[in-house]
Chain A
Amino acid sequence: MSSNPQGPNPVSRRRFLKTTVANGTAGIAAAAAVGLHPKEAEAADIKWDQTADVVVVGAGVSGLACACAASDTGASVIMIEENFDIGGRGIMSGGSIQLGGGHSLQKKYGTMDSADMIFADWTRHDHPASRYSDRDVVRKFADENAATFEFLLAHGVQFTGREEDGSGASTNAGRTYQTVEWHIPSQLVAPHRGRNGSGLVRRLEESARKAGVKILLKHSMTKIIREAPLSGRVLGVTARTGGKDINVRARKGVYVGTGGNCGNVNFRRTFDPRLTEEYQQACAPYARQSGDAEVLAMAIGASLWATALQTNESGAAITKTAHIGCQWGYGQLVIETDSPIFHLARATGLTVANWQDVIMVNQAGKRFWNELDGSYNFIAAAMAYNGDPNKLNGGGPIWAIFDADAVVRERWNPTPPNVDPLYFASGATLKELAANINNPYQKRPMPGAVLQETVERYNSFVTSGVDSDFKKPKPGFKIEKPPFYAAWATPILHDSLTGLRVNTDQQVIDIFGKVIPGLYTGGESMGGLAQHGLGRDLVSGRLAGLHAGKSSPSST
């Protein structure tokens, strides 16, 4: 009797899969004959269209850092990017990178900093942005800050040399440096607005391509392929392009960095049920923040982590819009008419210099808060229930209401392409204005009589000098001179501050607390650290690339 419980001359599972996957010839029956689980055999029955050591999904900041780092180890890399170009939100960012720890530029300026100081900042108990951090993740992040900065220099990223002030560090270390904007205008997505993040992502792209990284644009990940639904190794991904699916195999690892989840209405409501469909997200329509990494990783057992970071009302998870009358009016981001995506953005928006010049009303035509406030108290009031029995969650659209005098004071031109007709309306009277609001998220017509009453009441506050309803300090200007205007001013989402659970090598951890072999994540798809943007993206992407690149290839 054979001493081997599998019988005489057993074919090893590994050897079977290695042979049959390489040949694309495995059949379920054959696999079952050697004792493989039927679902494991499915994974082995895959026809691979492309293969690399490391597959990086998402050619944004963290993905590009991962690809460059993996290439540095000698690994071959394929990048999958759903968009028509690289960069994600990074290409539209201001390029202010918060990395410290005593790197060469800090030394040049005589700035005292250390990994310990970074660790102290991002684990401090007296600030909501830091007290819920995963300290293991933060420790690694802190230790790798300086090396990541030098990594950027080695990959050709250029900095303006201008050190920004020391906000963000308990020890007041200057830790934020801005990249130089990319020099080729036709390769900018948001020209003319100091979006120096283009200088970061285009340099990393340049370096990656020189190292032989293959970038597949307009390829959208639809599945992470794992040997078994909740066990085994990640083997690769399926991506859709031109209506067809392709399978891309990763010998060493898959990195998923799809930019966070603010653009996925169903997913983001996991953390905050108020975030219904009317809330847009920064950097759309260029970068989706689809949540694909999170959703598809969770489908194979990945865990979320440190979710308190998303809803503790610190940082830039939800912000007051700065440019009204367009669909996406986040912060300093204005899509100019010569942007390659202007036909998608449709309007530049009207930038508000002084919130005294407008009042803000909900879709029922009522004011809800002091317009000068931009805190989370304002956001909460904007998202409060406004009386629509058919839509209890979410606050609905918010409209900035102003008059012809405000247009002069603000020096606005309230016509296209500065405003989007779907997100802007005008009227000779306030009642006519309300009737002219025609927006897909305005689920019920705004009652004209209510809007008129709201403005008449506000004008009485201006006359008396006291806002009895919401204590707006010194209400300055009546809204009385026709024509009247309503411009979209709904709060806009920005940062994903929670995501998948990772260890200090950026390997994804599953719901049972175990590493999912071959799966990595970082940037805004990871949980555990809530530092906004580029520094976190770069460190995590680089760490993932180094670990994946150095790991042993899958023997399956």
Chain B
Amino acid sequence: MSDIDRADEHARQHPTRVALSRPPAAEVDAGADIVLKVKVSCARGCDLRGREVEVVAPDGAVAGRSPLTDFADNDNETTEFAFVAPDEVGEYSWTVVFLKDHGKDLVHEEGRLPITVRTLAHDTSLAVWSVPSPIVIEHPFRIQVGATCSAGCNLSGKEIQILDEAGASIAHATLGDTPWEGTRALYWTDVDLVAPGAEGSTSRSIAFAPTELRLPHGGASARFGFETVKPPQHWVAVKVVQKEVGTPVEDAQVRLGVYFAYSDAEGVAKVAMPPGTYSLDVLKTGFDAPSQVLDVCDDVTVEVELVVVPPENPDAHWLFDPTKSR
């Protein structure tokens, strides 16, 4: 019998129990941190601060460890700590272990708790923006496309594909090195395309299937659309003014069918369009204007008067107006 065994025989022995204050997520990205918080309680309510817990893999390797730092209500707790999940997708088990602790005349028994976590391929997702519309048939145009990984992995240099409505690849581009402003890890690129030769609504999709990354990543897709139109023949100038005072209104959105433009400092929005009959609408916060119909068969200038919409009376909600109740 070893000296330690003899000592055990004579020392008091307290059982311990291991539990989780904060269990790890059931699923995490492969290679990501697995975060947990552990508590250990002694059957006799001992303060075990300073001792450690370990997270042990089936092969005995220690994946993580943390000291017990808090003691309250007979529970000893670690702070939140993390260990790294395996790089491969799968289900993995570890054991959280409070090691047998030998003190003077007192032994705290080992405590164990199994945990299981599934690792997933990193989720990727896409954004596509600056899609112009309408676009003249067979004209070139540029869009911006970005991809991000749920774990923030560096995707620079990876390829994205643009597909037509039949799923055929019509363009590809490589993600740049710098994430898009305001994002953690949206790697992006410009993509140059050409509008189809027929008028109408066009839909395109984007496919992203990253390869050659250290960690497994899933693919992503997104869609975007635009209107294709005949080449313009005329200019339509819309002058937007405030009714009753006649002052120009800047930054009003002028819509003529599927055409958009914004009024400048002089209140003028210019749109190049093919001939046709269009619904003319003007949008500006705080203003209103009725829709009109405009026949375009030559260059034309039209004035639209916006009526100020008074700010909502906060108390008007409940003050009923007899003229509106019927």
Contact = CB atoms under 8 A, between A and B. Distances in A.
B127 interface: yes
B213 interface: no
Interface residues of B, number: 50
A467 interface: no
B223 to A, nearest CB: 5
B319 A428 contact: no
Interface in A417-435: 428-432, 435
Majority SS of interface residues in chain A?
Answer: loop
Given A429-B148, A464-B201, A482-B146, A456 B319 contact: no
A474 interface: yes
Interface stretch (A14-22, A314-322, A335-343, A382-390): A314-322
Contacts of A482: 127, 129, 146, 180, 182-183, 186
B133 A168 contact: no
A104 to B, nearest CB: 22
Contacts of B227: 463-464
B226 A354 contact: no
B283 interface: yes
Nearest to A477: B253
Contacts of A130: 320
A167 B258 contact: no
Q: Which of A432, A474, A495 has most chain B Cβ within 10 Å?
A: A432
B133 to A, nearest CB: 5
B182 A483 contact: yes
Contacts of B185: 428
A463 B258 contact: yes
Nearest to B319: A168
Contacts of A167: 313, 316, 319-321
A483 B318 contact: no
B319 A98 contact: yes
Interface string A387-405: 0000000000000000110
A23 B209 CA distance: 86
A206 interface: no
Contact of A435 (B150, B183, B184): B150
Contact of A463 (B133, B253, B317, B325): B133
Nearest to B223: A456
Contact of B318 (A170, A460, A484, A533): A533
Interface string A515-540: 00000000000000001110000000
A325 B124 CA distance: 26
A322 to B, nearest CB: 9
B255 A474 contact: yes
Contacts of B286: 353
B131 interface: yes
Interface in B168-213: 179-180, 182-186, 201, 203
B127 A448 contact: no
Contacts of A456: 222-224
Contacts of A403: 129
A356 B180 CA distance: 25
Given A315-B318, A465-B257, A465-B258, A431 B123 contact: yes
A229 interface: no
B320 A314 contact: yes
B287 to A, nearest CB: 10
Interface residues of A, number: 51
A428 B127 contact: yes
B157 to A, nearest CB: 18
B317 A319 contact: yes
Interface string A330-367: 01100000000000000000000110100000000000
A332 B148 CA distance: 38
B326 interface: yes
A384 B321 CA distance: 29
Contacts of A353: 285-286
A532 B317 contact: yes
Given A167-B319, A356-B283, A430 B224 contact: no
B66 interface: no
B85 interface: no
Contacts of A176: 315, 319
A532 B258 contact: no
Contact of B148 (A319, A428, A460): A428
Contacts of B125: 428-432, 448, 452
Given A428-B146, A428-B185, A316 B317 contact: yes
A495 B318 contact: yes
Interface in A464-505: 464-465, 474, 476, 478, 480-484, 495
Contact of A96 (B128, B148, B182, B315): B315
Interface string B102-133: 00000000000000000000010111111101
Interface string A117-150: 0000000101101100000000000000000000
Given A168-B321, A483-B183, A464 B258 contact: yes
B224 A531 contact: no
Contacts of B246: none
Interface string A182-208: 000000000000000000000000000
Residue among A130, A176, A452 with the highest chain B CB neighbour number at 10 A: A452
Most chain B Cβ neighbours within 10 Å, of A96, A127, A428, A452: A428
B288 to A, nearest CB: 11
Contacts of A168: 319-321
Contact of B281 (A126, A331, A474, A533): A474
Contacts of B231: none
A90 to B, nearest CB: 13
Contacts of B167: none
A164 interface: yes
Contacts of B281: 474
B208 to A, nearest CB: 11
A404 B186 CA distance: 14
B26 to A, nearest CB: 13
B58 interface: no
Question: Which of A124, A430, A431, A463 has the most CB atoms of chain B within a 10 A radius of its CB?
Answer: A463
B320 A481 contact: no
A94 interface: yes
A459 interface: yes
B224 A459 contact: yes
Nearest to B285: A354
B276 interface: no
Interface of A: 94, 96, 98, 124, 126-127, 129-130, 164, 167-170, 176, 314-316, 319, 331-332, 353-354, 356, 403-404, 428-432, 435, 448, 452, 456, 459-460, 463-465, 474, 476, 478, 480-484, 495, 531-533
10 contacts: A124-B322, A428-B183, A432-B150, A452-B125, A463-B225, A464-B227, A474-B281, A480-B129, A484-B127, A531-B318
Interface of B: 123, 125-131, 133, 146-148, 150, 179-180, 182-186, 201, 203, 220, 222-227, 253, 255, 257-258, 279, 281, 283, 285-286, 313-322, 325-326
Given A459-B224, A482-B183, 4 more contacts: A96-B315, A404-B182, A465-B279, A474-B283
